[in-house]
Amino acid sequence: MRPTRSIADQLAELDRLGVFTLAGEREAQVRAAAAGLPDTAAHALAGLHPGWFAASALAPLLTRGEKSGFVVADMVDVDQFLPVGVELVDAPLYLVHGACRGDDLRNVSPEEALAQWEGGSRRPLTLHEGLSWALTHPEVIEPNACFMTVASRKVKKLSAAGDPTFDSRTPALWISSGTGRDGAEHRGAPKLGWCWWRNRHTWLGIASAERHTPSPPE
């Protein structure tokens, strides 16, 4: 599955959902960036920069039917999961080209997927890019076909040489069954959760995009 809505339609939906207002005093800058974003590329995605929008604030704006999205109880540190190994432009919004849900990577672990992409033409999606996709295309999250966003990781500590040790969780978007700590009220709702870095899941793909510097607003 790939994005199908135009960039103009995606921006209008983000605005309708209240995403732009999350920037607070910087909302005018977000709107200026949105106005300058070109609407010419097919299957492009309007990426949201983590420096401007908190994942914890975006997740409740997700919808599936009448249900709103939520962050799982054991990922209250979700805003500490930031892009690793991808180059983002210094802008609140940017174009992501060739986004793909990664259905072909079901039953592949994040670690294995990253090894497959190394040196190739594709790179993993960040959590914020995945959230933008799910906000503007709610149908991308469907039963038995959801996805991980493995370009966002949490640094646990740095070695004396400055090398990071990462948290073993990786963010993922899927549908809650309403069991356990999710609560029955969340049954069928879009969910920002996590999976282990080395685990495989038959129903979770690993989302990716073309590997190049994302396009900033003009």
Helix ranges restricted to H, 38-94: 55-58
Report the amino acid identity of residue 45: L
Nearest Cα residue to 105 out of 4, 10, 195: 195
For residue 1, being part of any structural domain is answered with: no
Judge contact between 212 and 99, C-beta under 8 A: no
What does R_g of the chain's alpha carbons equal in angstroms?
16
Task: State how far the Cα of 171 lies from the Cα of 132, in Å rounded to an integer.
Answer: 14
144-202, pLDDT tens digit by residue?
899 999 999 999 888 777 788 899 999 999 999 988 888 899 999 999 999 999 999 99
Nearest Cα residue to 89 out of 46, 121, 134: 46
For residue 216, being part of any structural domain is answered with: no
- Residue 141 pLDDT class (50, 70, 90 cuts): very high
Region 85-93: what's the mean pLDDT?
A: 90
Position 216 pLDDT exceeds 60: no
For residue 2, being part of any structural domain is answered with: no
For residue 162, being part of any structural domain is answered with: yes
Instruction: Please give the biggest Cα pair distance in the chain.
Output: 50
Q: Can you state the percent helix, strand and coil of the chain, rounding each to 5?
A: 30, 25, 45
For residue 202, being part of any structural domain is answered with: yes
What is the reported pLDDT for 87? 87
Nearest Cα residue to 63 out of 213, 215, 190: 190
For residue 131, being part of any structural domain is answered with: yes
- Residue 84 pLDDT class (50, 70, 90 cuts): very high
Report the amino acid identity of residue 103: D
What is the reported pLDDT for 80? 96
For residue 218, being part of any structural domain is answered with: no
Nearest Cα residue to 153 out of 113, 182, 195, 203: 195
For 134, counting Cβ atoms within 10 Å of its Cβ (0-12 exposed, 13-18 middle, 19+ buried), the class is buried
Whole-model pTM: value is 0.93
Q: Count up the domains in the chain and report the number.
A: 1
Domain that holds residue 50: 7-210
For residue 169, being part of any structural domain is answered with: yes
Token pair listed for 140: 């991308």
